[in-house]
Every structure is written in C-alpha cells, then in structure tokens.
Amino acid sequence: MTFGFAPSPAEPMSSSAGLTAASANPLTRMLEPAEWAAAGIPLLRNPREVVSGLHSRHRPRPATAIVAVLDPEERLLASASFIRRQAPADGWMFRNSLLSQLRRVIPHDLRRRTPVRTAVLLYCREGDARWTEEDGAWMWGLRDACTLHGLRCGAYITLTRDGWQVLGEGRGGRRPNVNSSPEPFATSEAPPPLPRTGGAASEVLRRAAAR
C-alpha cells in the first residue's frame, strides 16, 4: 500500500482570502492517508532497526514525538524528542515544533539543489495503530518542516500499545511498543569497530598512549 502528498501548503496560494481561510482552519493542515499516496517518500531499508534505535535512545512515553535525520546510508545523524502540548491537533503547530527541534540539532540543507538527508518522525501515542486526524496533522507538519529545512520528507511512524507501524507502507511489528523495554542500539548507530592490534604500528600507538 502506498500513499502520497497533496499539493504543498507551503506553496503560494492563489489569493489572500484562501490563505486566510487555510490559516483559520486546522483541518486544512493535515493529510489524509490517500493524500500521503505516491509522494516518493523514501522507504526505510530496515525500519525496525531505525525504530528500535530511536526507542532505545529516547525511551518515549505516550505523547512523545521523536524527529530524526538520517544520512543516505540510513545512519542516524541527529535526533530530538519532545512532548506534544495538550492542544487540538494542528499541522501548523506541529510543523513549528519539528522545525524548532531540527534547527537545534542539525544545520539546514537549503543551499543544496537536491536534499540528501532525510527526516523521519516517530510518534508515541495512546490508542491503536489506525490512522487518526492527529497522525494527519503530524504528516502535514513533517512534510512542511522538511521543506523549510532542506530535507527529504521521510517516514511517519507510530508507536502504540500494538507495536510500531510505518504509515502508508503497511510495515510494522509488535516490538518495540509503548510498554516494551528499550533494546540495545541498532547496528547503524553502533560505534565503529576498534582498529586491529598487532604489528609495529600497534606498538607505536601503545607507546604513545603510555606517555
């Protein structure tokens, strides 16, 4: 199953009246599942590894959003988590929150002709895995924040009591979930292996360290 984008709300609207109407109506700042269709959202090669890594790093509870930036090899470059404020779901507010976190943890890529880094969003919430209007507002916010920060818009993932699910891809799993314990960091986030020991070079390094 695939999903795609509606025309970007970030693009100029045809009239100031239309802009005013959109600004006054939070329902225009969310994406239906059908609107997420065929948007060219890059598929995660190993979504469970990404989800497990973010879950272990941030240990989210319900109402926690985690925005993460991945390099072209799907390695985690930066991530930030924050608690969603108790207010009606509004894509514009979510966009501002995500953009604020992105600006805090990683420089923008607006000078690039084509984005090379991808932002993904993991949202931990109550309820089951079915799409909600709140999910639609997060989708709108993620897409707009990526445009304004020069990133590719990546996957939107929910974490509930049922497990995790990449909305629009039909991929998911039972663990991690809202109640599960954190697992060890994923391989893509593991530190690089130590250099091999032995030989003259190793002896030089050993002596230098001993000084």
pTM: 0.76
Alpha helices in the chain (DSSP H): 16-24, 47-58, 91-105, 133-149, 199-210
Tokens coding 41: 């959202």
Write down the domain spans for the chain. 16-191
Stretches where the chain sits below pLDDT 50 are 1-22, 187-211
* pLDDT at residue 182, as a whole number: 84
Q: Which residues have CB under 8 Å from 148's CB, separation 6+?
A: 10, 95, 99
* pLDDT at residue 197, as a whole number: 41
Tokens coding 200: 């003259």
* pLDDT at residue 194, as a whole number: 42
Sheet of 118-124: strand order equals 76-83, 64-70, 118-124, 152-160, 163-166, 171-173
Nearest CA to 154 out of 26, 53, 36 is that of 36
Nearest CA to 120 out of 149, 142, 135 is that of 142
* pLDDT at residue 27, as a whole number: 64
Task: Fold for 16-191, please state it.
Answer: Cytidine Deaminase; domain 2 (3.40.140)
Q: What CA–CA distance (Å, rounded) separates 133 from 26? A: 10
